[in-house]
Chains A and B, each alone.
Chain A
């Protein structure tokens, strides 16, 4: 691995990297549209307002302390010595981006990409908390995610932390590899979405007294599909910028990354469409959209290190995983996730992380060609990363959000759910000239 801060990148590569990073907000816009479209019409304005506030709070929290704790490879950090090896736990960059040259240096590009990435991660729980998550609680939870949870894991992976150093310290391949944030952005955001869904509980009327789920369809499939198109644009930038900044890829490598990203999304979405068509007689738009996003989430793991054929195969498996896990979460785990965020981002992201260990051909240290990941090497590093996400990040994000819920209730009251979040929290609906809802989804 070439540490971004010490290797430096050429001027053309810097320009290209900036252009890629400027595409990332398209992914945020896409996710906001998807969450809104899959929610109810009576909460549409609230959903978009929440998305904007979440992006703002995430950027602010990342500016205040997020980047200071994430840091960058080769930057100042707190290191503990365990068993004669150095364990890099957390960065020690000054708060408020002080003393940081914001001049196109690799560290400044990392800060910019991090600011957009943390917003993307913070948007993911909006899908699982749709129609019942208070605006103030969204913002407070985002501050916790962007100021604490995300920077900690991002430092371990992208800031020269102990996960990134598993290769150097213990000979596990090239250490934990995550091209564009399958673990760092998607899985962290997806596991936070799971925590939020657990803490909030299901929407009123979602489950019958016998525990069977009722269908509460999204209100606008057009918004959802438009969101998917925008998300693809953002992911092209995210994966390409990540490959250059965090993995030392040459700018020309972005062509492979982009082709693979499209193939991941395409095969995952088509798989979801075929599965739903086979099972239900017609393809399901929302599950196909979830498959698309799940494919994109998985692409962030290995898109820089697999051939297009392998990318297509991983995408097919991502589509299968996401489609069945949506049903599994709703039916068997009783988790009400209106936006499918947990399946698309957590499951897709974790699969993307694992796929690096199973299929990636990663350049050797020093960039001398490509080598196959050896047994006991890269796959074990990826497994350690997954174990860290589930064994440490999930309890951490659940615990912090549970504490927040004790101080400031995250779920809106029953009257708010009945009226809709728009009227209750914002005082006006998204579509004031139309009668857009009825009481057909009240509990039976």
Chain B
């Protein structure tokens, strides 16, 4: 367990190495973003640097309202940062990065499409042949335990099932990198553990990279190889933890049972410096 006294220097050390090897999926250097509210400039992201390596799972936790969602929208090109650099696979791009899947707390399923139709959406947009899209979408639904629900409309599915469909819609495009923004926050505990375990399997088995934004510390520690703790606004990196639980990282219950789990949780909780208001 390596607790960095100064998280910023730790990330900088890592990103410095990343600059030499351009295959690193995501490198963020000194990104800042402000919003204009009533003519005043409100800084949301102060100065943020981080790296996501190939096959790595990184969780970002932070106090409520610390601009996590702004960060995610900036990373996927929906917002432009005021300063700093974001490079995907060594390239700075404008607009949406290729090969990146994106999923939010809201499942955003289209109510007029069946579960299958929703999963096929991305393939359809990319112009994949209908038969092929249908087959791989069916396979993805089956993998996420939704066999037999392909023809159901979202309105007839439970919250957990809808979020599984949303996950299938993201994964069926075979993204190399997943950006998830509180994807399981609205689910009950059992459903959350199950879908977290499935996500971990599907990410780790295929060597995908995952960036998970969450305010659930236990979720962050049980899923991730590295947890980045953000400060209050204007956001910067407060601390970085490399999580070593010494177990298979696809079983969320086992992760919670492991020896060091609660130590990480306690330390991150202390870092968040949550006070009753």
A, B bound: no
